[in-house]
Amino acid sequence: MKGHEVKTTITAVSGAGSVNINAPLSYGILKHIFISAATNTTTFDVSLTDKYDNVTTEYDDNTGVLSELTENMSYGNWTMSISSASVDEVFNIHLVFTE
């Protein structure tokens, strides 16, 4: 099983921001989501929205870092959103997909 990584950033403005992700595989599984805020006391919510505008996953009330193992099917373009951020800052995103 081969892994594929995607690294990007989201800059929160007024507590929110988003980035479009093009999955590196035609069809695959999102296995790991790692999001780190610039400061370890920043609180934030995360949501994933598929290409049909369905919110498929939500992670609420995170502080500093979200590190989540998942089994989300992933295909095409989708959106990762940060909301309710307690500080406007840069969030580093690291995603791992498998075939």
Q: Which domain holds residue 43?
A: 3-98
Question: Is the distance from CB of 60 to CB of 66 less than 8 angstroms?
Answer: no
Q: Mean pLDDT across the chain, nearest whole number? A: 91
Percentage helix, strand, coil, to 5, in the chain?
A: 0, 70, 30
- pLDDT of 89 reads 97
Number of structural domains, the chain?
Answer: 1
- DSSP-assigned letter for residue 2: -
Please state, for a pLDDT cut of 90, what percent of the chain lies above it.
Answer: 69
Phi, psi of 53 (to 5 degrees): 70, 25
- DSSP-assigned letter for residue 41: T
- Higher-confidence position of 53 and 99: 53
- The encoded tokens of residue 44 equal 């934030």
- Is it the case that residue 4 has pLDDT exceeding 90? no
Q: What is the CATH number of the domain that holds 31?
A: 2.60.120.380
Question: Is the distance from CB of 51 to CB of 24 less than 8 angstroms?
Answer: no
- The encoded tokens of residue 65 equal 């870092």
- pLDDT of 41 reads 97
**How far from 84 is each of 15, 38, 77, CA to CA, in Å?**
5, 15, 23
